[in-house]
Amino acid sequence: MGPRPQDVARGISKLVLFSYIIDWVFIIGVALIGYGFYKQTPNQHPFSLTDPGISYPYMQNETVTTTTLILVSLLAPAAITLIGAFIIVPGTAAPQGPKPTTSQILRRKFWEWNVGWMGLGVAYAGVFMATQGLKVLIGRPRPDLLARCNPDLDKISTYAVSGLGETVTGATTMVSYKICQTQTSTLTIEGFSSFPSGHSSCKFYLINNAIYMRLLICLDLASFAGLGYLTLWLSAKLSVGFPYLPTYPLEGKTHDDDRTSLRRRGAAPPVLLMVLAFFPTCTAFFIAGSRWFNYRHHAFDIIFGSLMGAFFAWVGFNMYHLPIRRGAGWAWGPRTSRRAFIQGLGFPSTLGIDNWTYTHAHNEDDSWRESDIAAENGEMGNAYPMRDSQYTRQRPPSPVSPASERPLA
């Protein structure tokens, strides 16, 4: 079922509030685990001095600096979701009913802000931990490894670890990283952090006389995790989605709109809104492409990294928000106090109508909310809906909701 704005308006119990604080603790904890992985030296995969794939030049200046990456892929989505939650919510498509109080509206705004950031946090922290773990485990050389390495060609036999290059003409000899005359972190850590793709460090400098401090913070795959999430969030809030026909068959021809052609039952959103929604993803593609022409990653690293970032963005969004086409732009409501921490045995599912909020809430307040049905069918907040008379055939039978239970938006 859809979220229940009136429940958020009434506030949530201290137990549920505490459970969401614990959620934030775990999100931060996952990010800290990723930072712990980052502090480890990755495996240095053996390489060949004749491999053209690692023979590209080292570019000192990157097209997209890490400072820019943080600003664009983390701070910008966080700021946009914050501002959007307070400007867009509660929306302009509220049905008839008593006007919500200022307190109710503010609670709904704060809830949308919270889950907007929680989804972003899940996406960012999850991809950060996964990326750092894979970098440490795999240790794939970057395309510019030899430029970083400056190998000692007189000691090839000393540091050879495998291959038949010394006995078979034209065969490959694999050497260890110890053949490199440069043994700084630029080689031992950064040089073997190609897979998966993403910006690997953010540099902060503090110079005060003889004091020089450099802090490295890895933010891998940040572009698609943060900007991909922002695209999904904007698509939901701006009702940017593919038009669709009702999922229930039409019953009879008693309504006027039965004589309306199918093409009149949906419409594409304005192109301006599509541009706004997909601009973050286009930016993510540019950032990913810059890693190729800066010789920081191989093609497979970039493709895999982009897909993994998009996957975590999808997970972060769908955990906290209703489907874009039918959710009317709302986030899911909070859990109930009975299910603040665990689902418990004996329940058929944690999804659908047997989810973390509906079953007990239905027992506590024995009625179908008209707002739930409207949100489920995309009636509330979808700027480009089908005709209202279509929905009357799709709604399950339900008691009439009291006016006091009308949704906030």
pLDDT recorded at residue 259: 53
Residue 379 pLDDT more than 70?
A: no
Instruction: Kindly report the length of the chain.
Output: 409
Local confidence band at 120 (pLDDT 50, 70, 90 cut-offs): very high
User: What is the rounded distance in angstroms from the CA atom of residue 330 to the CA atom of residue 5?
Assistant: 9
Backbone phi and psi for residue 310, each to the nearest 5 degrees, phi listed first: -65, -35
Lowest mean pLDDT among 38-47, 206-215, 240-249, 257-266: 206-215
Please compute the mean of the pLDDT values over residues 193-219 and round it to a whole number: 41
Nearest by Cα to 329 from 280, 374, 380: 380
Local confidence band at 226 (pLDDT 50, 70, 90 cut-offs): confident
Residue 330 pLDDT more than 50?
A: yes
Please compute the mean of the pLDDT values over residues 315-319 and round it to a whole number: 91
Residue 251 pLDDT more than 70?
A: no
Triad 162, 165, 171: Cα angle to 5°: 105
- Alpha-carbon distances, residue 252 vs 287, 391, 392, 393, 407 (angstroms): 53, 14, 13, 10, 31
Residue 60 pLDDT more than 70?
A: yes
pLDDT recorded at residue 258: 52
pLDDT recorded at residue 140: 86
Triad 164, 166, 168: Cα angle to 5°: 55
Q: Which is more confidently placed, 184 or 270?
A: 270
pLDDT recorded at residue 62: 83
Please compute the mean of the pLDDT values over residues 204-230 and round it to a whole number: 51
Lowest mean pLDDT among 92-96, 165-169, 190-194, 264-268: 92-96
Please compute the mean of the pLDDT values over residues 231-259 and round it to a whole number: 70
Residue-wise pLDDT for 21-51, tens only, equals: 999 999 999 999 988 988 888 888 888 888 8
pLDDT recorded at residue 334: 84
pTM over 0.85: no
- Alpha-carbon distances, residue 113 vs 282, 385, 406 (angstroms): 24, 25, 22
Residue 8 pLDDT more than 90?
A: no
Lowest mean pLDDT among 95-99, 205-209, 216-220, 362-366: 205-209
Q: Calculate the average pLDDT of the chain.
A: 73
Please compute the mean of the pLDDT values over residues 363-384 and round it to a whole number: 39
Residues 378 and 327: beta-carbon distance below 8 Å: yes
| Range picked from 1-10, 184-193, 247-256, 283-292 for highest mean pLDDT | 283-292
Q: Is 86 left (phi over 0), alpha (psi -120 to 50) or beta?
A: alpha
pLDDT recorded at residue 101: 79
User: What is the rounded distance in angstroms from the CA atom of residue 401 to the CA atom of residue 399?
Assistant: 6
Beta carbons within 8 Å of 349's beta carbon, 6+ residues apart: 355
User: What is the rounded distance in angstroms from the CA atom of residue 358 to the CA atom of residue 344?
Assistant: 14
